[in-house]
Structure 1
């Protein structure tokens, strides 16, 4: 959707590789981030990249 595209672009600008942010999300990660944000759902991930963002993890920190 239009909202997902906008959020994905913002995520890449804020958290993407080359942004200087510790998350260093790749382009595909930004799509997953945008979908989770638009749907209001947590995201299941391994590693530490999404842990450095404001996304809610499905397991662990802040998960129910």
Structure 2
């Protein structure tokens, strides 16, 4: 069930990270590296945010 070392991020942090992808035109991987989070985590947050808003596009 997850590592005791797993980082937990607030909903606000996730929302802001997703907004950075949309507003900067940078890829999910670039934004994730800049924020110090795994690209896989940010990609999941991005996909969920877009699904929640009825969008299907994913910025690599």
What TM-score, normalized by structure 1, do the two folds share? 0.35
Higher normalized helix content (fraction of residues): 2
- RCO higher in structure (CA 8 A, sep ≥6): 2
What TM-score, normalized by structure 2, do the two folds share? 0.36
